Structure 1
Amino acid sequence: MTITKQGELEGLKAIGRIVADTLQAMAKAIEPGMTTRELDDIGRVFLEHAGAVSAPQACYDFPGTTCISVNEEIAHGIPSARAIAAGDLVNIDVSASKNGFFADTGASFQVPPVKSDLTRLCRDGRRAMQIGIAQVGSNKPLAGIGNAIGRFASGRGYTLIRNLASHGVGRSLHEYPEEIATWPNRHDKRRINKGLVLTVEPFLSTGGQWADDGDDGWTLYSAPRAPVVQYEHTVVATDRGAIIVTMPSG
């Protein structure tokens, strides 16, 4: 979507805060022994109380309120009876709608005791997202996002999952521009129009190149197998750069 009115921005900010607060509540609740379904239930209750609707459920009939991916799972993990264990790497992706506006956010978390290599990967995954967001602004090249993230990743010895892209969002969960590379792409000549709403969500890895389908039709795995982290914000392009709408209220 392209924002043209202040009311649209306010509507987007409202759902942005809700998904951000939901993600924060779920992250704080993670503890060894709980199942991913129990963690998803926390997100479900939070969204329901806020009057928001799970986007993956409403748009794609996803079998959960949020996507929760653990260790070898890198995206679209189905909440289940899988128990979270000490030392696990857990990714939570929350997207929802309210009053016709959609927002999408996500982050990866370590369950203590933390591992130094994963701590570095998480820190740099968040930094990669921030570097991508810094490339968002009116009339800037869309490919600038992936080019900047790619320089950062290669300079630190990381790889990027190259078939999980950022996307337009706002009036639906996925809309134009439907695929925004978070890796270097010489062929994309599109420019970012003022008011464009999009996600920035690189998948940073210590060796993974692609996301492969699992047997359940939803869960994705790294190929080759390697740790992967994802951090995501929904942003709006302006003349002064990006407005991040998926910031928690507290």
Structure 2
Amino acid sequence: MTITHEDELDGLKTIGRIVANTMHAMAKAMEPGMTTRELDDIGRALLDQAGAISAPEASYDFPGTTCISVNEEIAHGIPGPRILAAGDLVNIDVSASKNGYYADTGASFRLGPVTPAVDQLCRDGKRAMQIGIAEVSANKPLANIGNAIGKFARKRGYTLIRNLASHGVGRALHEYPEEIATWPNRDTRRIHNGLVLTVEPFLSRGGHFANQARDGWTLHADPTAPVVQYEHTVVATHRGPIIVTLPG
């Protein structure tokens, strides 16, 4: 989507705030002994209350309202009977639509104390996203996003999952530009003013690719390694990025 009028930006900010509030409320509600289905039910209730529609459910018939991925699951985890435990690393990804506008956000949350290595991975994963977002500006190359993230990851000894990309969003969950690398690349396309996209690097301690599980949805790192993901929906302008997936 390309924003051309203020009312479009307002509509995007509305759904952006809804998905952000939903994700953070789910994270706050997490506790050991809860199933991922129970956590997803909280997300469903919050989206329903806000008049929003789950994007993965409506667009792709995903068997859940939100994607909840635990530990070895790095993305697209199906909510179900899995019981959360203290020390788990839980990724919550919430995307939804309202009045024809779509927004997408996600983050990895620690459920209680985790190892120092995982704690640092979470901090650096969020920083990697912020570094990518800083490269979102009208007339800049799309490649700047992945190249900046790649430089940060390489300097700190991390790897990046190279088949899970950022994407355009706004009037659909996935739209032009269909794939935006969050790893070093030579994409020759440029960011135009008003472009709506996600920035969502998958930072890892050794994983390079995502493999799909037998359920047809859940993804795991190959090679097996801890992975975190942090994601915002942003709008490119001549003055830099506007983040629309902020709670409020």
| TM-score bracket for this pair, using the shorter chain length | over 0.9
- Would you identify which runs of 4 or more consecutive aligned residues in structure 1 move more than 4 Å? none
Pair 1:34-2:34 in alignment = yes
TM-fit CA distance, 1:146: 0.0
TM-fit CA distance, 1:113: 2.1
Pair 1:214-2:227 in alignment = no
Which residue pairs with 2:134 in the alignment? 134
* Inter-partner Cα distance in structure 1 for 2:37 and 2:115: 25
Map 1:221-232 → 2, pairs under 5 A: 221-232=220-231
Pair 1:242-2:236 in alignment = no
* Inter-partner Cα distance in structure 2 for 1:110 and 1:171: 32
2:123 maps to amino acid: R
Percent of aligned positions that are identical: 77
Map 1:176-191 → 2, pairs under 5 A: 176-186=176-186, 188-191=187-190
Unaligned runs of 5+ in 1: none
TM-fit CA distance, 1:148: 0.0
2:107 maps to amino acid: A
Unaligned runs of 5+ in 2: none
TM-score by length of 2: 1.00
Pair 1:88-2:110 in alignment = no
Secondary structure of 1:171's counterpart equals coil
1:213 maps to amino acid: Q
The alignment's C-alpha RMSD in Å is: 0.4
TM-fit CA distance, 1:35: 0.3
TM-fit CA distance, 1:115: 1.5
Q: Alpha-carbon deviations, 1:174-200, whole Å to 9, x = none? A: 0000000000002x1000000000000
Which residue pairs with 2:11 in the alignment? 11
Q: Alpha-carbon deviations, 1:80-101, whole Å to 9, x = none? A: 0000011110000000000000
* Inter-partner Cα distance in structure 2 for 1:116 and 1:32: 20
TM-fit CA distance, 1:112: 1.1
Secondary structure of 1:141's counterpart equals coil
TM-fit CA distance, 1:210: 0.1
Secondary structure of 1:109's counterpart equals strand
Secondary structure of 1:90's counterpart equals strand
TM-score by length of 1: 0.99
* Inter-partner Cα distance in structure 1 for 2:205 and 2:138: 33
